[in-house]
Structure 1
């Protein structure tokens, strides 16, 4: 199989001038863009950047993020490498039809992109291409619905130290529900009904499909062995940090995004997806982020595949 093209979408949401403002998310994706081009050989013209910087012509709204992701997946062919880096708020939502909480990322307009949306994207990736998601947000574990957990929960020690500049990358579900209730004037705890009224066809598939179709979302595209790879900044029940770190010259950043950058800078050779996550965990522990445990969700084969390499180059180095 010939090596294909490499495409990336990098999204950083700082939510400026809001109660939920973060400070490091733009820095995270700018640093990642430089790394993709200089180390991994991405064509700069195939790396799309969406940030909610004042004056941005295209903002990282829910519709714009999904548009860019869909375009990337639609262009994918066997041998291609697809990459999505998200740095911003995450949340856990409880759909009206479900008894369990679901993961979602929170674009700048709060038009939630859920685990069902990511599962739909992954199901459409052609065989022989890979789709890697690096999500630096709260509650991001399991963001690709039903992907196999390779590196999961870990216990935290009792002597946890929280850095002074720590800010969780989370908007509580209740705050999002209250915001949309004020827009729609509906007396309902069903977040889907509010999002459908405000965003219509741009709302998440989770809310636009009948409840019985969510288990195998969508019904005509059943779950199958795939090339979806999720490197999450924390477990589902944890928060990721927006912080200033001494090793980064006190520039605001996401703790997980910064840890991945440090791993890549300290190791010039190829690294597997498993190695990236395990080494990032060690850096976060060193930096006293004991309660944030990056996780890995993917197939057994992709756990030991080389990070951001085409599928055929899957023999990992023997380091860990």
Structure 2
């Protein structure tokens, strides 16, 4: 009975940052392709998929394209609404393709650590704290899968157990690269670049990125910058297994590639990880566990010559659960 009632909800975000020095080319293609895959392969209703891109609506494709820009506030609003309407047994999915960054940690006791964030089109960073808070709000029995095709994406849900990553899977470097550096670009914006951009808007002379974000975005800024440090710490205190599932395009210290002219996509720009995901799905009609799915994507990228290693972070049960499905009881 629960299987009949189960809903599948998705938020898809593609940021190409057009006409800027940070411009990418394959991110909108990534989420448009995934939208079609969610409907045809996984049974999502198109009306339950929200698409946010920084292209004009006419360029975002037909059939439910969205003119909602992927600003930090809009992305968090879409994700919050998705989580708030979720019920036990529902399957939630967030696919992000765009730039990532690393910022100095604000957590007590971690003065030298860096935390991961995604970079919306307005540079209003969405951090690991925001994703942790969303996962903590999930109703029991609902799952939330995040697939982030961005640089430094390996730590986007902090405190999630590493299933595949630098500590559990070691691989030698790819022996030869089939991808020219001229046809790919890392999907990363250094923190210094973000700081320079924000300070040019605020006119405030400080290297504290939180000051700029709070000045520009106030209540729409990340919880990392708005909450007192001890309240941030409280979000990460619970050690019980949760239903957050992170498939990252690379390890936290790596970059993910935006490919502008890849042979494997017929010259169509794409994210290397998003494209590997599509290749795995095409080559495997059977259902795949999250763990097997990520291992196969790693193999695809290795064979193509990319120096990035997708990771999986989730509890043990969800590692063996079917990608975009619930464990069968």
Shorter-chain TM-score bucket reads over 0.9
- Aligned partner of 2:150 in structure 1 is 137
Is 1:251 the counterpart of 2:253? The answer is no
> How many residue pairs get matched?
310
Residue of 110, 113, 116 corresponding to 1:103: 116
Closer, same or farther: CA 240–172 of 1 in aligned 2, 3 Å: same
Question: Which moved further from structure 2: 54-63 or 137-146?
Answer: 54-63
- Aligned partner of 2:2 in structure 1 is 2
- Cα displacement (A) at 1:218: 7.1
CA distance in 1, matches of 2:7, 2:209: 38
Flag as ranges the 4+ runs of structure 1 deviating above 6 A.
none
Question: Which moved further from structure 2: 50-59 or 62-71?
Answer: 50-59
CA distance in 2, matches of 1:152, 1:218: 20
- Aligned partner of 1:231 in structure 2 is 247
Is 1:280 the counterpart of 2:282? The answer is no
- Cα displacement (A) at 1:213: 2.3
CA distance in 2, matches of 1:159, 1:310: 38
Q: State the TM-score, normalizing by the size of structure 1.
A: 0.93
- Aligned partner of 2:60 in structure 1 is none
- Cα displacement (A) at 1:305: 0.4
Instruction: Flag structure 1 segments of 5+ consecutive residues without an equivalent.
Output: 314-320
Residues 194-235 of structure 1, C-alpha deviations (whole Å, 9 max, x = no match)? 10000000000000011122223278xx45321000000000
User: SS where residue 141 of structure 1 aligns?
Assistant: helix
- Cα displacement (A) at 1:158: 6.9
Closer, same or farther: CA 182–72 of 1 in aligned 2, 3 Å: same
User: SS where residue 224 of structure 1 aligns?
Assistant: coil
- Aligned partner of 2:91 in structure 1 is 81
Residues 158-204 of structure 1, C-alpha deviations (whole Å, 9 max, x = no match)? 74525230100001100000111111122222111110000000000
- Tell me if the contact between 1:95 and 1:192 (Cα under 8 Å) persists in the aligned partners: no
CA distance in 1, matches of 2:224, 2:140: 25
Could you say what the CA RMSD is over the residues aligned between the two structures, in angstroms? Answer: 1.6
Question: Which moved further from structure 2: 175-184 or 127-136?
Answer: 175-184
Report which of the two has the higher share of helix.
2
Q: State the TM-score, normalizing by the size of structure 2.
A: 0.91
- Tell me if the contact between 2:100 and 2:119 (Cα under 8 Å) persists in the aligned partners: yes
- Tell me if the contact between 1:242 and 1:254 (Cα under 8 Å) persists in the aligned partners: yes
- Tell me if the contact between 2:174 and 2:302 (Cα under 8 Å) persists in the aligned partners: no
Instruction: Flag structure 2 segments of 5+ consecutive residues without an equivalent.
Output: 58-65
